[in-house]
Amino acid sequence: MKEATDNFLLISPPTPIAKDVSLFKQRFRRILGHSYESEFSKAHISLIKYQDIHSDNILYHIADNVLSGFRPFTIYINGFYVLHHGENRTICLNIINKNSVCELMRKLTGEEILPHITLAKNLTKEDFNKLWPAIRHTKYANSFKCESITVLRSNDGQWSYYTELPLS
């Protein structure tokens, strides 16, 4: 029997925005004085993770039945957003026009999401209280056109680039 492959579908911002995210993460490291969860993750907007035991059957289905009817759209980023996980917090870049990403997620999973680009994930209350006052008034706005979905594949626990699925 063939082993299942783990796939991760996401929206990848272009290099200039990815570099900005990396600079924010470096700044957060300096402010905190230690490492934190998601410090080294690449900039992305998460869509769905799944396992496929039949090679790329689910990918073909997604490309043919979901993405083929979805037109490219622009994603606008403005400022920061905080997600609350009990006592812990996650600091993200705020996507201000959520509808297209939410609609894409509904077509993929039937679920709702809050689209965002994670900067610092699962911060303790102490780390959040050190970091948030230092960055919350920082101005950041940018935009990019989403023309495809990036597919990553897990290889021994590490995500690596597999392919792009274009929007129609």
Among 95, 115, 98, 117, which Cα is nearest to 21's? Answer: 117
- Per-residue confidence (pLDDT) for residue 2, from 0 to 100: 63
Contact 123, 88 (CB under 8 A): yes
Would the pTM of this model clear 0.85, i.e. be above it?
Answer: yes
pLDDT (tens digit per residue) in 37-55: 999 999 999 999 988 887 6
Residue 84 belongs to domain with CATH number:
3.90.1140.10
The CA-atom distances, in angstroms, between 125 and each of 21, 90, 117, 144 are 22, 10, 20, 32
Contact 130, 91 (CB under 8 A): no
Contact 168, 23 (CB under 8 A): no
CA distance 90 to 88: 7
Q: What is the mean pLDDT of each run of 10 residues along the chain (168 residues)?
A: 82 98 98 96 94 82 89 97 95 96 92 93 97 96 97 90 93
| Domain span at 90 | 5-166
- Per-residue confidence (pLDDT) for residue 65, from 0 to 100: 87
The total number of structural domains that make up the chain: 1
